[in-house]
């Protein structure tokens, strides 16, 4: 991405203060293993036994780079139980966990009062969400709906010409039933629900949309798509020159307009109405001030190129994902959406949150059939945080709160 000439020159001058040009070139020059041998690789990488764990720890300890604080043994979790979850395992990173709640949720799948675990090291975060949860819960809670769900994989096929690519798409779409049957051979839980084509010159993309039940599903849809693609390559009357199981059109682990306009995982909407007296009492603001700040925030978000406009969805989702064993990298596509606020005819504050969320299970949702419930809990928690942060910004309390709760080392 481009940057200003002034910024570039200033940065280069700062580098030159410490290194001359020749030293800088030497420092940045690739170091061939033939001239500078590589250190030994970490041993027993796929050995999930206790002895494999000890070998890796001893290797890093002898190299002087073992983080001892991560290596506290826990009797409840054995290395073998982590197979498929992590490689080169050496220990656990401890993250403080706070709790937010109770948060009253009125959802299609999540009903009741919930205490939400938050894993974070950001001072003021739990306090902010806790305040928002109290404010919305006093006013009847958050109404939230999981309205759609699917996850995609988008293989790409290249051809000699745009004509061949177009004819290939026509043939592929006529085989949807076969694709669905092939999917059933790879999973008992997932199902193929649709195929959407995209043609770009001589490259054909097939966006396969799957339902994955309670699973996050990235691996499930990859295996199913691989099987379909191999059948396509074998049976298609128009052979592709090359194909890739993912052509980067699915939006996987990226903030995209695809996730914003549709969804990747589960799409959830949420709303809450707060009495104006409670806005004054607990949020130290007013419906009018919060609505006006929301308008200004929208202008700023548009100018920044933000995909959606919101305060900080990622904070709640990261804190919950870390606690519940979710893939934190999915924050990229989960943290897109819009927060809006308005003053209703009674002078109370109405706030609404539509968003694409890849929120999938746990948080008291163990067992089958709870993925949508978890998604609604995530959305309700996000909305509580939006209420609190917008109130803080509208009232001028944002910096003061962070100063009050910041870590003593800062």
Phi, psi dihedral angles at 386 (to 5 degrees): -65, -40
Check if 130 is active-site: no
Of 187, 185, 186, 195, residue with least CA distance to 152:
195
Phi, psi dihedral angles at 249 (to 5 degrees): -110, 5
Contact residues for 384 (Cβ-Cβ < 8 A; gap 6+): 100, 103, 129, 132, 133, 135, 136, 142, 272
CA distances from 152 to 20, 156, 206, 208, 243 (A): 50, 13, 10, 5, 17
Where b means 16+ CB within 10 Å and e means fewer, 205-240 reads bbbbbbbbbbbbbbebbbbbbebbbeebeeebebeb
Preceding omega of 267 cis (within 30 degrees of 0) = no
What's the rounded Cα separation, in Å, for the pair 136 and 269?
16
Check if 263 is active-site: no
Q: Which two tokens stand for residue 35?
A: 């001239």
Check if 122 is active-site: yes
Of 252, 268, 276, 265, residue with least CA distance to 338:
268
DSSP 137-169: HHTT-EEEEEEEEEEEE--EEE-SSHHHHHHHH
The catalytic position among 50, 68, 73, 327 is 327
The catalytic position among 122, 246, 275, 292 is 122
Instruction: Quote the DSSP letter at residue 56.
Output: H
Of 27, 105, 70, residue with least CA distance to 373:
105
Phi, psi dihedral angles at 391 (to 5 degrees): -65, -40
Q: Which two tokens stand for residue 333?
A: 């596509």
Q: Is 343 exposed, middle or buried (0-12, 13-18, 19+ CB in 10 A)?
A: middle
Contact residues for 339 (Cβ-Cβ < 8 A; gap 6+): 294, 309, 310, 311, 351, 352, 353, 383, 386, 390
The catalytic position among 246, 292, 348, 402 is 402
Catalytic residues: 122, 327, 402
């Amino acid at each position: 991405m481009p940057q200003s000439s002034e910024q570039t020159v200033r940065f280069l001058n700062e580098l030159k203060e410490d290194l001359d040009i020749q030293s800088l070139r030497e420092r940045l020059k690739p170091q061939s293993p033939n001239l500078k041998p590589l250190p030994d690789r970490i041993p027993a990488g796929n050995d999930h036994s206790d002895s494999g764990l000890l070998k890796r720890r001893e290797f890093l300890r002898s190299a002087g780079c073992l983080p001892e604080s991560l290596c506290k043994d826990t009797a409840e979790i054995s290395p073998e139980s982590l197979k498929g979850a992590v490689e080169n395992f050496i220990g656990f990173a401890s993250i403080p966990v706070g709790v937010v709640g109770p948060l009253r949720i009125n959802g299609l799948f999540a009903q009741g009062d919930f205490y939400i675990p938050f894993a974070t090291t950001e001072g003021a975060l739990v306090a902010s969400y806790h305040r928002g949860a109290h404010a919305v819960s006093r006013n009847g809670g958050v109404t939230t709906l999981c309205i759609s769900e699917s996850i995609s994989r988008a293989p790409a096929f290249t051809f000699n010409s745009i004509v061949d690519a177009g004819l290939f798409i026509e043939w592929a779409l006529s085989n949807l039933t076969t694709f669905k049957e092939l999917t059933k051979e790879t999973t008992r839980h997932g199902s193929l629900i649709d195929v959407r084509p995209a043609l770009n010159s001589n490259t054909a993309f097939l966006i396969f949309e799957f339902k994955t039940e309670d699973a996050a599903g990235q691996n499930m849809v990859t295996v199913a798509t691989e099987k379909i693609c191999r059948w396509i390559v074998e049976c298609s009357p128009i052979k592709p020159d090359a194909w890739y199981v993912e052509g980067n059109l699915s939006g996987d682990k990226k903030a995209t307009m695809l996730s914003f306009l549709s969804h990747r995982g589960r799409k959830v909407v949420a709303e809450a109405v707060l009495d104006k007296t409670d806005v004054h009492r607990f949020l130290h603001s007013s419906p009018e001030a919060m609505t006006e700040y929301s308008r200004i925030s929208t202008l700023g978000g548009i100018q920044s190129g933000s995909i959606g406009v919101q305060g900080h969805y990622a904070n709640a989702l990261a804190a919950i994902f870390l606690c519940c064993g979710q893939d934190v990298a999915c924050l990229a596509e989960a943290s897109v959406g819009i927060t809006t606020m308005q003053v209703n005819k009674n002078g109370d504050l109405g706030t609404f949150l539509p968003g694409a969320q890849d929120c999938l299970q746990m948080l008291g949702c163990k067992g089958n059939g709870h993925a949508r419930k978890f998604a609604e809990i995530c959305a309700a928690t996000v909305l509580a945080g939006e209420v609190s942060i917008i109130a803080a910004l509208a009232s001028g309390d944002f910096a003061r709160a962070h100063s009050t709760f910041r870590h003593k080392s800062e």
